[in-house]
Amino acid sequence: MADKTSENFYQILGVNRNATQEVLDAAYRRQVRLHTGEHLNDVALVAGTEPTDPILVRLNEAYRQLSNPLKRWSHDEDLQEEQHHPLTDEDLEQARKRIGPPDAWLSYQRLENGSLYIRVGWAADFTAIHNALCNAIPESGRAYSPRLNEWRIDPAYDAALAEIFSNFKRADVRNAPPQIGPIYKGPAFRPSKQHIHRAWRGWPLLVICGLITATVAALLFPANRVVPVTAQATATALALVSSYPPLESNFPTATPRPPKALPGRLLHPSVNLRERPEVDAPVQRLLNNQQGLRVFGRLEDSSWYAVSAGDVTGWMAAWTVAVDGEPDTLTVFAKDQALPKPAAENDDQGRAE
């Protein structure tokens, strides 16, 4: 420091040389508030400002220098080497009036669980403030935590706190309400009516009008203009038709002939005779390769054969039966078509007739 008569950074902020970082923060906040009337929040305290006011420039420089441990150590070394002359009592009094009021200032206060929690942010003499709190508040209404540097006070003693700390806010004192400018009301909002779709109720009237129109049209425009046949002519015609005797037909009735059948044999020891040409159709009988078969029909693709064995007919897969002859000459049946009775039964019926 070249100018030995100038104040050092501790004097600018109004703190002792052994002040902690919390004391530096509180002192810086108070100096800015006293000079500008603004309260700095934590963001502004960390980021800092770039003022043009010479006093604020000096406060910012002092706070930044002392907040940096390395720069603060260098500043302390310069103070020890300067050997500057101590200030007189008059100079000290003027400095106190310029840099700090005689009262104390709280860094924060909060009401929690029915108790007030405060922390002293700045004071001209912290020991005097500590003694003032102990004298004004009995031991039952206060508690101090050295680790947190925090006081817990009974809210009943908020009047004593208001006398000691200039920024203490009492709960029973209400701040003046903020002034609100004129409020201009905009156009009132009117919700639009919601349209509800309802079914048309004129259907009965429409049906009645249609019936009336159809009746009038039938009366004015009859559809049958042909002269009706008299009941006598109708009766004569019926009599003539009924006078003719029915024709007698002497043609012989054709007897259905059984379909052509070919002998067949099983290619496996035993095969199921099924009701329909399907693998999962019901089984009518289990046949063995010792029994004689008559193949009298097939499906269109020749995948199944219509077979009769004794008094039962059914279906067998083509790959299980060997046909003696030409299978293409067999009668083609549909899958859901009923099979004729066995040929032996037909022959017995013919003999009986």
pLDDT at 346: 46
**Number of residues that this document lists for the chain:** 353
Instruction: Please name the amino acid found at residue 290.
Output: Q
For 26, phi then psi, to 5°, come to -65, -40
pLDDT at 203: 80
CA 137 to chain centre: 58
pTM for the complete prediction?
A: 0.29
Locate 188 and state its tokens: 């009132």
How far, in Å, are 259, 273, 334 from residue 306 at the CA level? 11, 9, 11
CB atoms within 10 A of CB 235: 10
Rounded CA Rg of the chain:
62
Own/partner long-range contacts of 347-352 (Cβ < 8 Å, ≥24 apart): 350/255
Q: Which helix (H) or strand (E) holds 285?
A: strand 283-288
pLDDT tens-place string over residues 196-250: 767 777 788 889 999 999 998 888 877 655 555 455 555 555 555 555 565 555 5
Domain positions in the chain: 9-99, 105-164, 262-352
In this prediction, the residues of the chain whose per-residue pLDDT falls under 70 are: 1-6, 41-51, 82-88, 91-103, 171-189, 191-195, 197, 223-258, 343-353
pLDDT at 125: 78
Give the residue among 328, 343, 335, 256 at the shortest CA–CA distance from 292: 343
Same fold, 9-99 and 262-352: no
pLDDT at 184: 57
pLDDT at 82: 67
CATH for 262-352, options being 3.40.50.410, 2.30.30.40, 1.10.287.70, 2.40.50.1020: 2.30.30.40
Give the residue among 273, 279, 319 at the shortest CA–CA distance from 293: 273
Query: Rounded to an integer, what distance in angstroms lies between the CA atom of residue 353 and that of residue 149?
Result: 132
pLDDT at 167: 83
Q: Give CATH superfamily name and number for 9-99.
A: DnaJ domain (1.10.287.110)
